[in-house]
Structure 1
Amino acid sequence: MKEEKTAVLLLRENPVNPGDPYRMKELRGLANAAGYLVLDEIIQRRERDHRFQIGRGKIEEALSCHPKKLIFYNPLSPTQVFNIRSEFPVQVLDRFNLILEIFASRASTREAKLQVELARLSYDAPQVREELSFRKRSEQPGFRGAGAYEQSMYHDIRGRMAKIRAELKEVEAMGEERRKRRRDLGFDLIALAGYTNAGKSTLLNALTGSEVDALDQPFTTLSPTTRALEVNGRRALLTDTVGFIDDLPHFLIKAFHSTLSEISRADLVLLVADLSDPLELLRRKLVASHKALWDCQVTAPMITVLNKMDQMDELDAQMKIDQIEDLASNPVMVSAHSSQGLSKLKQCIYQRLPPLKKYQIRLPYTSQSFGELSRLYRTSELLDVSYEDELILSLRGRAKDVARLSKRAKDGPAE
């Protein structure tokens, strides 16, 4: 029988600026997603304890519940982890390592597993020296000659990171080639982004009629999921990606670069937010999402999809939108669950996709020209084809779709 995973959650708040009242709720959601049974939640308002992060008395209070692990919202230094493990019979985890634990349990593809490992090593590498040198200074048994061992471990980690980066670079190159091929076939690329558990997977299902798993828990989607979507005759591919979370370390963004490139290379980004969240929490999540998008170097047009409108009074929803207008460009209210607002969203998507221009192209009668004509039927909107001394094509499409014909085209864009 599998042993039950139990935990007590601990949060230290700054006495001057207590911070967000929803942080403990988010930590509980992460712990539940990782499979922990939460026995208690402890919050202490005080300055940072340099030895344990939180006061000794609160740790002793947490241990009275006999948990398998203590999970801290606050980041723990290697020294604090060492101190707690040395003085108390319990395992400890901070919020970032809890997130990595969730990622590791959900990583099903080779790419996702490599990205999780790279994130773990990126976190461990700068801390290995500190932890081992601390043990050496403390003269713990079994660490004689730890300096050489420390250097060996550090170099092993750096070597493994280099190998993973090289492999992920190949994966990213294949992704870039895949995106190019999809565009050559006439597809627009649209990416779903947003805070974890905002309803991105549910929206993907609602827009495309698919049945992707959409669970009410954080980080349901770890690897990109792509489905076809047609909007007013334009063919698109909609991709769901890993959700964002507050205080996401920059090296985690870098580790998941090959996955997040689906957002940074998209033609249009749908930023999904939970409109039913309290205003303060909604703003915090939008700020965190915009920071992550900035780290991903996203430059594509953006639509802010305010999900779960069915849980809001219409007047209250509009008042809330007025108070987040600085963070919500091109806002559209929808309910992915009840399909409310999806028609308006599709119209907005159509308007924000890269515009199509009218072209008139003349081609000679060759087998290559007829091959290009066949391709243009798939990738563009052919308005007219005249078979005279040469092929005369009138079409509406993207410049890049007709660029390969530019040397043979005798007329340019016809606006």
Structure 2
Amino acid sequence: MDNDKTAVLLMRENPANPIDPYRMIELRGLANAVGYRVLQEIKQRRERDHRFQIGRGKIEEALSCHPKKLIFYNPLSPTQVFNIRSEFPAQVLDRFNLILEIFASRASTREAKLQVELARLSYDAPQVRSELALKKRGEQPGFRGAGAYEQSMYHDIRGRMAKIRGELKEVEAMGEGRRKRRRELGFDLIALAGYTNAGKSTLLNTLTGSVVNAQDQPFTTLSPTTRALEINGRRTMLTDTVGFIDDLPHFLIKAFQSTLSEIAQADLVLLVADLSDPLELLRRKLVASHKALWDCQVTAPMITVLNKMDRLDEFDARMRFDQIKDLAPNPVMVSAHSSQGQESLKECIYQHLPPLKEYQIRLPYTSRSFGVLSRLYGTAELLDVSYEDELVLSLQGRAEDVARLSKAAEDERAK
């Protein structure tokens, strides 16, 4: 960790709606994840200060530690950032920008880098627009009017955002094509979702025997990672996705739409939660995860995977299990680390996969028919073959395969 990368954390609590203590712990974890050494944590309970978000005295107290950055839990408006920088020798960052800094450090694929850049520009555009408005009102020192440079910067940002959206649309189309091909090959698609650092990547490794990077830190996974998993003869693709976190703006979810579509288009979602979290925190994270899934327009069946049960004794685990049932559809307790509960989870997954249908297909005796037959073997289970004036096949498969393969058979018979 860089010794010069120091920070003081600041949080303002509304007197009518206090912030729970775990939020500062989470902010510290986010700061540590991107390499900041936290010198002090400062809280203040008061109404919002329109100039600085928090009281002037608290900012002066923070600066007495000589940090490189002041990191605010509360979102800062462009005016507040300008005011703090103008009146104090301070670099400032709010929680959202801290998260973007983590994302930028984790992004390794072109898709992830584009999504992070789009999120950054989506944040910067209104900031630049606000600065232009301030200049036009003469509120900045040395004001000479909003010149061509500032106007050009704003239009450049908007143009770059449009270009990135176009590129990500292509990525999303490729993802849709990939999902379609996997389904045609007979795979069910399962997505891992949940609050950041709940153990999704470790669970992927445990279930599939793979070695995906899994670390005890937030936002390890930014780009989807997919591995094959067979359960009782059902072939599935299990995809790990970016973790959720509280109070993310809607535009950040929109920026990561190409990644989050892996959840939205899945046949089954595994919502992973850390059962070892304090009860109040566990409930808050589940609520945040459900909100994010709602924003992603998820309609697939859901299993709640209550992970890290090995960190609790049996009584505590069962007590928490009972106390969060209202937020945990189809709950299963597991430990991705020790593999406890793995077989119960697999059985639950099997029970909630899209049901298979039995159907019958007739094919003429032609060379093309045997091509259709080979595809049938790859996507459905052959139950019986009768050799009559035509080939009569009894099969069991997914509903969409029924429609697609039946159409192929009808087309062949019509030739």
Instruction: Say whether 1:29 aligns with 2:26.
Output: no
Q: CA deviation at 1:152?
A: 2.3
Q: CA deviation at 1:373?
A: 1.2
Question: CA–CA distance in 2 between the matches of 1:250 and 1:234?
Answer: 36
Q: CA deviation at 1:2?
A: 6.5
Question: Which whole-Å deviations, capped at 9, do the CAs of 1:231-271 have from their partners, x for residues lacking one?
Answer: 11111000000000000111001010000000000000000
Tell me the equivalent position of 2:82: 82
Question: Which whole-Å deviations, capped at 9, do the CAs of 1:130-182 have from their partners, x for residues lacking one?
Answer: 12332453454554231544432222111111111111111111110010011
1:381/1:396 contact within 8 Å kept:
yes
Question: CA–CA distance in 1 between the matches of 2:409 and 2:176?
Answer: 28
What letter matches 2:312 in structure 1? M
Which secondary structure does the structure 2 equivalent of 1:180 belong to?
Answer: helix
Tell me the equivalent position of 1:243: 243
Alignment of 1:67-216 (within 5 A): 67-138=67-138, 140-141=140-141, 143-146=143-146, 148-216=148-216
Tell me the equivalent position of 1:228: 228
Which secondary structure does the structure 2 equivalent of 1:406 belong to?
Answer: helix
Which secondary structure does the structure 2 equivalent of 1:146 belong to?
Answer: coil
Question: CA–CA distance in 1 between the matches of 2:386 and 2:13?
Answer: 73
Q: CA deviation at 1:320?
A: 1.5
Tell me the equivalent position of 2:413: none
What letter matches 1:36 in structure 2? Y
Question: CA–CA distance in 2 between the matches of 1:254 and 1:263?
Answer: 14
Q: Give the structure-2-normalised TM-score.
A: 0.95
Tell me the equivalent position of 1:413: none
Question: CA–CA distance in 1 between the matches of 2:282 and 2:408?
Answer: 53
Per mean C-alpha deviation after superposition, the further-off stretch among 150-159 and 276-285 is 150-159
Alignment of 1:11-410 (within 5 A): 11-138=11-138, 140-141=140-141, 143-146=143-146, 148-407=148-407
1:283/1:327 contact within 8 Å kept:
yes
Q: Give the structure-1-normalised TM-score.
A: 0.95
| Number of residues of Structure 1 aligned to a counterpart in Structure 2 | 410
Q: CA deviation at 1:394?
A: 1.4
Question: CA–CA distance in 1 between the matches of 2:153 and 2:115?
Answer: 20
Question: CA–CA distance in 2 between the matches of 1:301 and 1:50?
Answer: 45
Which secondary structure does the structure 2 equivalent of 1:370 belong to?
Answer: helix
Structure 1 unmatched ranges of 5 or more: 411-415
Question: CA–CA distance in 1 between the matches of 2:350 and 2:157?
Answer: 47
Per mean C-alpha deviation after superposition, the further-off stretch among 154-163 and 291-300 is 154-163
1:386/1:392 contact within 8 Å kept:
yes
Q: CA deviation at 1:313?
A: 2.0
Per mean C-alpha deviation after superposition, the further-off stretch among 127-136 and 229-238 is 127-136
1:198/1:272 contact within 8 Å kept:
yes
1:361/1:393 contact within 8 Å kept:
yes
For the aligned residue pairs, the C-alpha RMSD in angstroms reads 1.6
Q: CA deviation at 1:407?
A: 4.5
Question: CA–CA distance in 2 between the matches of 1:15 and 1:408?
Answer: 66
Per mean C-alpha deviation after superposition, the further-off stretch among 370-379 and 73-82 is 370-379
Structure 2 unmatched ranges of 5 or more: 411-415
Q: Percent identity?
A: 87
1:133/1:147 contact within 8 Å kept:
no
2:28/2:38 contact within 8 Å kept:
yes
Question: CA–CA distance in 2 between the matches of 1:364 and 1:218?
Answer: 57
Q: CA deviation at 1:38?
A: 0.8
What letter matches 1:157 in structure 2? I
